[in-house]
Chain A
Amino acid sequence: MLPIMTQNTDDKVLMVRYRQGEVAAFEALYARHKGPLYRYFLRQGLGTESSAELMQEVWMKIIRAKDRYEPTAKFTTYLYQLAHNCRVDQYRRSAHKMAQKIDGADIDVAQLPATTADPEVDAIKSESTQQFRTALANLPDEQREAFILKQEAELSLADVAYVTGVSTETAKSRLRYAFSKLRQQLAENESSS
């Protein structure tokens, strides 16, 4: 008999239980990772449509490969490695299309939900958010990906390096550049406003 599932049940356990035929385990796993994975694609400059498409591709791969899944590494690194590969493939398929989107022009700020009840505060926040979004979009691909992996998937330096297929030093360097540029950009925005 399988133990009762809780909110803290490990991802690997959920995946193993899904492999054994427990659909509820997959539902829990999906609910846990769908948002971060979606935002991983979305914030790399992909539109909502492309992000949804890639997200579906990643989850389909996980579903179809469930019988071969071995809980050796963290599920998150497995998930984001698949996501990284799918993104790279998609980039290769439509390189020029992607380049157009990376400039942040297709990001629809109006779709974002309001976070407060005060319209004035919302307006200020919206402007600040837009500036941050633009700063993020202006980062080089590798730096942006490393940053988003750290923020959304909460991956460690070593995991970011594993997922992106580089050394830990390289991953750290990318994150350092991303951090530096974003910080500088935001400081400039604040001083100008």
Chain B
Amino acid sequence: MTDQRYDKEFEAFLAGESALDERYTELGSEEPLPELDALILAEARNEVKVHRLKFGPRGGWLKPVALAATVLLSLSLVMNIVVDAPVRFEQIVTESTQEPARLDAEQTVSGWQEKKIRLSEQPSMSGVEEITVTARKRTDNEPQSQDDTMMDVPESVSASAPEAMAQTTDLDTALLIVSEYVAAAVSGSVEADVKVSRFMDKEERAQTAAPGLAAADRATAASDDLQSKDNPELLLRNIERLNISGASAEAGALLDEFLLRYPAHPVSVKIHQRNY
């Protein structure tokens, strides 16, 4: 047999046209047992039934519904977190009578200790004329003040702070007292009124103790006034300065202007309490 003939036969075999193919068909066509057929077909039907039970007669609706439910749940969770965002307190610490150094209050809850340390670095309470804490609720679209940063007033503010106010000797205690004051004032309780009045008394004492401040503050406020036209925080500070220096009428006028210009801007509880 030549190679050429062999190759030809092999090609015929590959094409299914050789004698070998015929011999193979003679082997017969064995089939699996009917029991095996029944078993496999039953499994195939059962699988379809299970699929329908899982995904419904039309199939495939469960996944989209589950996905939509997950998205809704996630959205509502996020919305809930945004709505229930903790009230944050903005702290403003004004300058001392002797040193116009501003105490930058920059901290978060976790940075509370750091803040304490920084305040403690200041010489003494006698150098500080006033500490103001302004309560405000921050919203997403509200720009963050450059000068005054936010802090969370801890829930554990001491209830005995008003008593301690008369004998305040350091900045930490003063800060706690003022925070307590703000928290009470926001709550609007009877106790809050008492605390507010005590705080006011304390402020008045501070003003009489530093008569030389009035003129200096008026000058500072006047110069700041020019720059503060577009800065609500600076404007509020000027109002405070004017008030401390005894220019209540000017402070009142500036407050009216402020409220007209920034009706939605949060205003210090203390400023509201003064009733210019």
Contact = CB atoms under 8 A, between A and B. Distances in A.
A and B associate: yes
B14 A52 contact: no
A34 B37 contact: yes
A55 B41 contact: no
Contact of A23 (B9, B32, B45): B45
B209 interface: no
Contacts of A34: 31-32, 37
Contact of B30 (A35, A125, A186): A35
Interface string B5-25: 010011001101010110110
Contacts of A151: 21, 24
Contacts of B32: 34-35, 38, 51-52, 55
A67 B62 CA distance: 15
Most A C-beta atoms less than 10 A away, residue of B14, B39, B40: B40
Interface residues of A, number: 44
Contact of B36 (A23, A55, A115, A128): A55
B51 interface: yes
Interface stretch (A4-12, A97-105, A174-182): A174-182
B31 A132 contact: no
B59 A21 contact: yes
A157 interface: yes
Contacts of A176: 10
A32 B9 CA distance: 30
A39 B25 CA distance: 12
A128 B43 CA distance: 40
B47 A66 contact: yes
Given A23-B44, A26-B44, A129 B16 contact: no
B43 A113 contact: no
Contact of B28 (A55, A56, A115, A186): A115
B215 to A, nearest CB: 85
A129 B41 contact: no
A111 interface: yes
A66 B46 CA distance: 13
Contact of B47 (A39, A63, A133): A63
A30 interface: yes
B29 A39 contact: yes
Contacts of B83: none
**Residue among A133, A176, A179 with max Cβ neighbours from chain B (10 Å):** A179
A90 interface: no
A154 B10 CA distance: 16
A176 B10 CA distance: 7
A54 to B, nearest CB: 11
B44 A18 contact: yes
Contacts of A115: 26, 28
Contact of A59 (B26, B30, B40): B40
Contacts of A66: 47
Interface of A: 18, 20-21, 23, 26-27, 30, 34-35, 38-39, 42-43, 51-52, 55-56, 59-60, 63-64, 66-67, 111-113, 115, 125, 128-129, 132-133, 136, 150-151, 154, 157, 175-176, 179-180, 182-183, 186
